[in-house]
Structure 1
Amino acid sequence: MTISIGVDAMVQQASDIPALSHAEAGKLSQTEYEQVLALLETLDGSDWQQPTYCTEWNVRDMVAHLAGAVTGSTSRAEFLRQNVKHPYVKEAANGIDGTNRLQLEERLTKTPDELIAEFRQNGQVAVNNRQKLPWLVRQLPVPGVGNFGYLMDIIYPRDQWMHRYDICAATGKKMVVTREHDGRLIDLVLLDIAKKLVKQLASRNIVLRLTGALSSDYQFGNKHTPGCTLEIDFFDFNLRASERISVAEALRRTAVTGDEAAAKWFLTNATVLY
């Protein structure tokens, strides 16, 4: 459903965003793999030492994680080794932290060229393997995530997308963005947020206006007239939704019209797994 706000604008009801099919997930994963690889191949010199929004990682660390993550999808045994049987199961704050630590430690001696080569080779294998997963396997539960299909189809390409932006922001590289690919990935972020907030919205009605690289308006809540409108840059919103920046910082980057308390509530709660 779309509704009009003002004279010219149209706003998409976030909860009505179409769900992702497994076939479409394969196309998004393939495109994101190619985009990340193209970016990595432009890195040189001091790019690798630049700090990122993931404050414990520089660009090299982030690429090591990206390489390790795709290698984790090259076989069932490697996935289990990285994600279930790693040596930090008991001491890591959560499973993801332990997996990330393992990926970085195992690549400490690799050169940048070797990291790119690993991502190039195993990234394509990962895309292919994820598409071949049987339906029943994709229904298997993953604690803290959902099911295996959600992890493979939505979280993995979303994680690559966000790290692509992290690297671009850190190095000053241009982020290649298209409505068809990047817009669809972020629509799925907003659909997840709508699902998360549906029971919490109560009588709130909020319009999120994304500007910049891709501009779109989204509605959260069912009342016709919004209680507040938040206008924020496309990338800044994803920085907040992934919890890379605080609520206070997000508010500084947001123009709010209407109920400021509702805007703060939304930015506090509109976070999902990346």
Structure 2
Amino acid sequence: MTTMIAVDVTTIPALGHGEAMALQATELDRAVAVLRTLDDDQWRARTVCPDWDVRQMWLHVLGACEAGASMRKNVHQMRVARKRRKDSGVSLEAGLSGVQVAEREHLSPEDLVERLELIAPKTVKGRSRTPRPIRAMKIGIDAPVVERWSLGYLIDIIYLRDAWMHRVDTARATGVELVLTADHDGRIVADVVAEWARRHGQPFTLELTGIAGGVFTADGGGEPVVVDAVEFCSVLAGRGAATGLLATIVPF
């Protein structure tokens, strides 16, 4: 039996821009690979996202990727999303994802996968080239938290987590295998743990089971919490019942 060494959460390095882009490239490759295996029934499967089946969920991801590859599309999506927010009273996040889905509803699953595969490297390239002063700019966010984010946080962290979580959602909705590795998924999970710890600021001992997990502590530890690594992230993203420190929202 192997005993995992506990990691002090303050020693988890922040995801740098280059590392985040490499993780996004891998994540989009994995997404395309799993989407190619889906049959018609799986594409129509309802997801934990209330308004979306699997195809619509990935239309949203495709839209985000196309915006990442084209400043013109990015500006267009934000303009229409702000109008939706004003007209319908939804959050900017909901307005943006709604635009992304609505403008791509005509795509078949085959067309969706083909476009995602073609745009993925251009997305990573476009996001990689975002100038430092632009990345430092602040934007107001109204869901799932109300705060101000740097564009760098959105580009590097949120887009990575969003694609990763939707791959998780796909596996849960369709029953396909969720491919996980310690170097890729474990790094994403560790970054989530570090942000979760900063947001609640309390002592803890957290054991995340599975290949993407590990043992993490802060401020001398606390009552141990044991949970599957993927389930931990799902709960923080609002996809399950949360109690105690797990009720701390971490944006995805």
Which runs of no fewer than 5 residues in structure 1 stay unpaired? 1-6, 248-263
Match of 2:193 among 190, 195, 207: 190
Cα distance, 1:8 vs structure 2: 4.3
In the aligned structure 2, how far is the partner of 1:162 from the partner of 1:62?
11
Cα distance, 1:219 vs structure 2: 1.2
Cα distance, 1:13 vs structure 2: 1.7
- Partner of 2:68, secondary structure, is coil
TM-score normalized by the length of structure 1: 0.84
* Higher-Rg member (1/2): 1
Q: What amino acid does structure 1 have at the position aligned with 2:70?
A: S
Q: Is the 8 A contact 2:21 2:128 kept in 1?
A: yes
- Partner of 2:120, secondary structure, is helix
Pairs aligned (count): 243
In the aligned structure 2, how far is the partner of 1:53 from the partner of 1:135?
35
Q: Is the 8 A contact 2:69 2:127 kept in 1?
A: no
Number of the residue aligned with 1:153: 156
In the aligned structure 1, how far is the partner of 2:110 from the partner of 2:213?
36
Number of the residue aligned with 2:145: none
Number of the residue aligned with 2:212: 214
Number of the residue aligned with 2:84: 88
- Please list the CA deviations of residues 208-229 of structure 1 after superposition, one character each: whole Å capped at 9, or x if unmatched: 1111243311113x13xx3311
In the aligned structure 2, how far is the partner of 1:53 from the partner of 1:209?
25
Number of the residue aligned with 2:130: 133
- Partner of 2:85, secondary structure, is coil
What fraction of aligned residue pairs are identical, expressed as a percent? 30
Pair 1:179 & 2:185 matched: no
In the aligned structure 2, how far is the partner of 1:170 from the partner of 1:155?
22
In the aligned structure 2, how far is the partner of 1:117 from the partner of 1:80?
24
Number of the residue aligned with 1:257: none
In the aligned structure 2, how far is the partner of 1:39 from the partner of 1:28?
17
Q: Is the 8 A contact 1:83 1:96 kept in 2?
A: no
Match of 1:266 among 235, 245, 251: 245
Q: Is the 8 A contact 1:48 1:58 kept in 2?
A: yes
In the aligned structure 1, how far is the partner of 2:160 from the partner of 2:137?
19
Cα distance, 1:9 vs structure 2: 4.3
Number of the residue aligned with 1:165: 168
Q: Is the 8 A contact 2:69 2:125 kept in 1?
A: no
- Partner of 2:216, secondary structure, is strand
Cα distance, 1:165 vs structure 2: 0.7
**Structure 1 runs (4+) greater than 4 angstroms displaced:** none
Number of the residue aligned with 2:228: 233
Cα distance, 1:167 vs structure 2: 0.4
Q: Is the 8 A contact 1:206 1:229 kept in 2?
A: yes
Q: Is the 8 A contact 2:69 2:124 kept in 1?
A: no
- Please list the CA deviations of residues 135-173 of structure 1 after superposition, one character each: whole Å capped at 9, or x if unmatched: 111101121251111111111011100000100111111
In the aligned structure 2, how far is the partner of 1:24 from the partner of 1:16?
17
In the aligned structure 2, how far is the partner of 1:75 from the partner of 1:123?
12
- Partner of 2:156, secondary structure, is helix
Q: What amino acid does structure 2 have at the position aligned with 1:106?
A: E
Pair 1:48 & 2:26 matched: no
- Please list the CA deviations of residues 19-62 of structure 1 after superposition, one character each: whole Å capped at 9, or x if unmatched: 11111112111111111111111112201111112232111111
Pair 1:72 & 2:50 matched: no
